[in-house]
A and B are shown apart, each in its own frame.
Chain A
Amino acid sequence: MAVTGWFVALVALGVVPVVLLANGWAYVGWVGLCLVLLAVDAALAASPRAASLARSGPDRVRLTEQAEVTLLVTNGSRRRLRGVIRDAWEPSAGATPRRQKLDVPAGERRAVRSVLRPWRRGERRAAMVTIRAIGPMRLAGRQASILVPGGIRVLPEFAARRHLPSRLARLRELDGRTSLMVRGQGTEFDSLREYVRGDDVRSIDWRATARRAGGPGPAGSPAPTLMVRTWRPERDRHVVVIVDSGRTAAARIADETRIDTAFESTLLLSALADRAGDRVDVAVFDRRVRGRVQGARGADLLAKLVDTMAPIDPELLETDWTAVPSLVRSMTAQRSLVVLCTPLESPGSTRQLLAMLPQLTRTHLVLVAAVTDPALLEAAADRSDRASVYRAAAAERAMLDAQRVAAAVQRLGADVVTAAPLELPPAVADRYLVYKAAGRL
């Protein structure tokens, strides 16, 4: 039951008879008339309970993109269903318009479309649909909220994918398509081909040249075609990424939580390593495994990754680093590149990580990817007054702590990449390419 603005106007119109008759009974009569009309109009409105609803639309959307969802309203009553409909989504799903006009003749079906512009990653669900059916006199309405299950999964944005083309170009340079690669550690034999000018003379394979020419030619015969060997970086290496989803990952730096930065880095590194022919396994971990992608390749890998990452939010728990070595062992048996996405802040909060690291560095190449806070640098440079000098001192102190932790990590045999949130994903990818070029994988 609901009343409209027209009903309020109708009641207000009663001022005319009341003033003309100048009588208390005129007031009573008018209000009574209004109430009767209200009841009649409400009775004549179509029942929103008789409407049957169905949803359709995509079940996935990438953050910052938009999706159109459709709600099919079938009028099951024998009256015309006219009024307002609200398809209520969770606020961060960003559904527009919030309410729409509805006009469905008896027994027919209409589509109600709304556009979702989600501003937060995760599982967004549609709470309910509310229909207010207005009567033919537009005075009263009947209202009902109907639960229609539905939802959409908002995937991570992967804004770092714009860095992918340049890194792939670098990867091709490393690859056998240019013969810059020479034989050495971390490369494997790729193919034999004819010598062209500019090739390193050291890469000429004389035995193959001789086989090709069929033996030493007589003097004056055309020079035999020289054959060179090409090399390419090792393939089928193993990259394991562990994303820390514990307490410290909930911190927001420059409008992005640390876990989102870690996801961006993971996605870029996975896309790159997959093109380079390496296997990528990812686990999101705090005290239990929150998400895990193993054994996926190609386009499937990224799809599975974003799908796994979408609903994961940081938990307010201390990450249990002692369980990480066994987790890595369960994911890989051979020597691998293990990337740990976790903040390096203070010696106190990283004690467990430091205690665990030697177990990993003994068998694997370990890279710790940590986000630094640009606000610290800003605070350290601001010395305008007394309070800001103390802030600068505290910021210097925090940076010193972080450096000490990074130095400790390096002493334990792991590598460290630190960068601001937007720079971390390309920095991790670059470090991977460096390893690849140096054959350290």
Chain B
Amino acid sequence: MTSSEVVTPTVRRTLRRALFWIVLAALLLAFAAVYGLTTRSTTEADRFSADEAAPAGSRALVQVLGDAGIDVVAAETLDDALAAIDDPATTTLVAADPRTVLTAEQWRELDGAAASLVLVEPPAPAVGSLAPAIAPGVPSLGGVRDEAGCSLPAALRAGSITADGLGLDASGATAADLGAAGVQLCFPGGEGEGGAALVSLDQPAGGTLHLLGAGGVVQNGLIGREGNAALALGLTGEHPRLVWYVASTADIAGGTTALSELYPGWVNPVAWLALTVGLAAAVWRGRRLGPVVIENLPVVVRTTETMEGRARLYAREGSRLRALDALRVGTLRRLAEGLALGSAAGLDDIVTAVSGITGRDRAGLRALLVDREPRDDGELVALSDELLELERLVQRRVALADDGPGERPADRPDPTTR
């Protein structure tokens, strides 16, 4: 018995067999990488971002302006934006704060920074500090507005726009205040439509300030609708230099504190190490010492299955009489055996013999052994108990008679005389 055959495949064979899947996984990984790089699909599009190609971004507008010869600079922090402005008189500054990170003080720094300041969807701090006469209206506008309602050339050229964004409301201010600030409400909309889409006024420190509530006008997704493009180009293309500033988390007051600076530097590597240890432990415990051995076991049947099934049938159908009859037949058989009556003994013989040895009357015995019908389960249990009682009684009497001192009880049935 020395012939042997190795059943575990070699590493080379395993690799060759898994080659298809390895290649497939590599292809999938490569495809995913290429796809991710080309589409640069982030989880959430950066709104109004100058190089965001998603519908919420503003890349289209910025590129058109750049092609038209305007010097466009994108800035991500307030400091960068201010530093990018060389000559305020020839510069348009577009500022948006989609995450509402800038405080009122930071907005105030923009006052007078450029000849034309365009605030896209200005949040409450911006409006409060730069144009206190105006109040932000309904958060979302909608619908097409085809009446400029002001003398702004850009608005007049646009004719009609698709309003989508933040409405602006000037109903809370007095006419004198509005006049002092040179406020013009453009695309005001009707009653209950959420206020004006564009408000143009003077900056407190000089220059014009455009509050563009309808931010959709500069977004890739809506810029092609109605006169949106005309309005956007008119507002932003006024001066040869454009600074496109979208506020980011780096602008948060109190300096930039990344989460990674809150815990020691070894935490991340140790977490990776713990993961690796878990992986190694899984490989350690997961490798079996040879395959599981299987064995064919013979079929085994429980013998009492038929009996249990029949018992459940009796119980479900409530066949009390049938069940009781089965019990009675058993009792009669044992009584006949105990009294040595032989298997051919009839019912009457057994009743006579039992009444003889126990002294109970024959009618009662006959009723118990044959005639009575149980009306409910309680009666069935009672009758079954009576049958057992009778069997025990007969057993005791027979034993007593057998152990008796020599003489034969007169009432004991004698099988020989039968």
Contacts and interface: CB of A to CB of B under 8 A. Distances in A.
Interface of A: 1-5, 7-8, 11-12, 14-15, 18-19, 21-24, 26-27, 30-31, 49, 52-56, 84, 86, 88-92, 99, 120, 122, 127-130, 132, 143-150, 247, 250-253, 257, 313-314, 316, 346, 373, 375-376, 379-381, 383, 385-387, 389-400, 403, 407
Contacts of A379: 304, 307
A431 to B, nearest CB: 19
**The 10 A-B residue pairs with the shortest CB-CB distance in the complex, in nearest-first order:** A130-B290, A393-B323, A396-B330, A313-B298, A394-B311, A27-B269, A22-B266, A394-B310, A22-B265, A90-B295
For the residues of B in contact with A, the DSSP-based class is helix
Interface string B34-61: 0000000000000000000000000000
B384 interface: yes
A155 B327 CA distance: 43
B4 A143 contact: no
Contacts of A14: 273
B27 interface: no
B141 to A, nearest CB: 48
A394 B280 contact: no
Contacts of A393: 311, 314, 322-324, 326-327
B171 interface: no
Interface in B266-295: 266, 268-270, 272-273, 276-277, 280-281, 283-284, 287, 289-291, 293, 295
B280 A390 contact: no
B315 interface: yes
B177 interface: no
Interface in B296-319: 297-304, 306-308, 310-312, 314-315
Given A8-B281, A22-B266, A146-B7, A373 B290 contact: no
B270 A86 contact: no
A150 B6 contact: no
Given A31-B276, A55-B1, A252 B293 contact: no
B284 A7 contact: yes
Contacts of B5: 146-147
A151 B301 CA distance: 28
B176 interface: no
Contacts of B301: 247, 250-252
B311 A132 contact: no
A236 B372 CA distance: 59
A314 B299 CA distance: 8
A7 B276 CA distance: 11
Contacts, number: 200
Identify the interface centre among B269, B302, B315, B333: most chain A CB within 10 Å of its CB.
B269
B329 to A, nearest CB: 6
Given A146-B5, A383-B385, A390-B311, A11 B327 contact: no
Contact of A386 (B266, B303, B380): B380
Contacts of B380: 386, 389
Interface in B117-151: none
A27 B4 contact: no
Contacts of A400: 326, 329-330, 333
A391 B311 contact: yes
Contact of B269 (A8, A26, A144): A26
Contacts of A375: 303-304
B192 interface: no
Given A127-B293, A150-B1, A257-B300, A1 B11 contact: yes
7 contacts: A11-B277, A22-B269, A143-B8, A250-B300, A251-B303, A389-B323, A398-B306
B280 A3 contact: yes
B311 to A, nearest CB: 4
B264 interface: yes
B416 interface: no
B340 interface: no
A399 B310 CA distance: 13
Contacts of B324: 393
A24 B268 contact: yes
Contacts of A398: 306-307, 310
Given A314-B299, A386-B377, A394 B277 contact: no
Contacts of B265: 22-23
Given A8-B280, A389-B381, A393-B311, A15 B273 contact: yes
A346 B310 CA distance: 13
Contacts of A127: 293
Contact of B4 (A53, A56, A247, A383): A53
Contacts of B287: 1-3, 143
Identify the interface centre among A1, A18, A394: most chain B CB within 10 Å of its CB.
A394
A399 B330 CA distance: 8
Contacts of B377: 386
Contacts of A2: 283-284, 287
A26 B265 CA distance: 12
A144 B307 contact: no
B3 interface: yes
A393 to B, nearest CB: 4
Contacts of B283: 2-3
A144 B270 contact: no
A359 B303 CA distance: 30
Interface in B170-223: none
Given A54-B2, A313-B298, A386-B380, A143 B289 contact: yes
B253 interface: no
B3 A88 contact: no
A38 to B, nearest CB: 9
B281 A390 contact: no
Contacts of A23: 265-266, 269
A99 B299 contact: no
B330 to A, nearest CB: 4
Given A27-B273, A391-B308, A252 B302 contact: yes
B388 interface: yes
Nearest to A345: B306
A27 B289 contact: no
A250 B298 contact: yes
A379 B324 CA distance: 15
Nearest to B287: A2
A386 B315 contact: yes
Given A86-B290, A128-B7, A251-B302, 5 more contacts: A11-B276, A24-B272, A120-B297, A145-B290, A253-B303
A301 B218 CA distance: 104
A75 B290 CA distance: 19
Given A5-B284, A18-B270, A314 B291 contact: no
Contact of A24 (B269, B291, B300, B314): B269
B266 A252 contact: no
Contacts of A399: 330
Nearest to A31: B276
Given A91-B293, A145-B8, A394 B314 contact: yes
B303 A390 contact: no
A26 B277 CA distance: 15
Nearest to B329: A400
A424 to B, nearest CB: 14
B299 A387 contact: no
A376 B295 CA distance: 32
A21 to B, nearest CB: 8
A376 B276 contact: no
B284 A19 contact: no
Contacts of B268: 24
A22 B384 contact: no
Nearest to B300: A252
Nearest to A30: B273
Given A27-B273, A394-B326, A396-B327, A49 B6 contact: yes
